[in-house]
Amino acid sequence: MNVAENFRDFEGKVAPYSCRLVAVSKTKPVETLMEAYEAGARDFGENKVQEMVDKHEQMPKDIRWHMIGHLQRNKVKYIVPFVHMIHSVDSPRLLKEVEKQARKVDKVVDCLLQMHIAEEESKYGLSEEELYHILKGEMLANAQHVRIVGLMGMATFTDNHEQVRKEFKVLKALFDKVKADDSLPGNVQMQELSIGMSGDYEIALEEGSTMVRIGTTIFGSRNYD
């Protein structure tokens, strides 16, 4: 598999939509990631904290690292010093921990709030009610080291494209609603809608994604133990 060629091909596909391509590199060795890097990739997404830390230590420091997997509070401290964006903030307690750890290193961390849009119960994410509980809550209003820059969601894993499209539409409408709400604190700056993976990125682009998370189509199938 030609990783560099795959990356450049995908860049061409998302460019007309002014969408950023995050190369999801989980389980892949540094040598493979460097093929994408040499082809121009600078945004890499990881699911596991330790894997991200290890790769960050070995790879060029102009890489923008995206934490896209479920994040445990006790592991936040390991990635805050270098992470570019956390896509998977799914609770007030997690956001509070990011604020706490970011304060220690005097950094503002960009975060996406992960919404539950799929029919699958196994997916993590907030309801609209929980979203507004965070956005209008005292903790965020007083926070100085986190910035909410958008929403993230994962559609149902299905071949029913209309269902996927419907779920993306719901999230895009919510994104637009939040973006237009002038009553929210200044550290809510809706810019990014992180939807779309290898199996549904085309629908996501059509529905307004600003960031697609592509792994298998660039790097090939995963290497799981």
Give, for all 225 residues of the chain, the pLDDT tens digit: 699 999 999 999 999 999 999 999 999 999 999 999 999 999 999 999 999 999 999 999 999 999 999 999 999 999 999 999 999 999 999 999 999 999 999 999 999 999 999 887 666 899 999 999 999 999 999 999 999 999 999 999 999 999 999 999 999 999 999 999 999 999 999 999 999 999 999 999 999 999 999 999 999 987 654
- In a domain, residue 224? The reply is no
CB neighbour class for 23 (10 Å; exposed up to 12, middle 13-18, buried from 19): buried
Return left, alpha or beta for 49; rule: phi > 0 is left, psi -120 to 50 is alpha, else beta: alpha
Asked if residue 63 lies in contact with residue 56, where contact means CB atoms within 8 angstroms, the answer is yes
Q: What is the pTM of this model?
A: 0.95
- In a domain, residue 139? The reply is yes
- In a domain, residue 225? The reply is no
pLDDT at residue 225, as a whole number: 46
As for how many domains the chain has, the answer is 1
Look up the domain containing 35 and give its range: 3-218
- In a domain, residue 12? The reply is yes
User: What's the CATH code of the domain at 9?
Assistant: 3.20.20.10
3-state secondary structure at position 126 = strand
- In a domain, residue 223? The reply is no
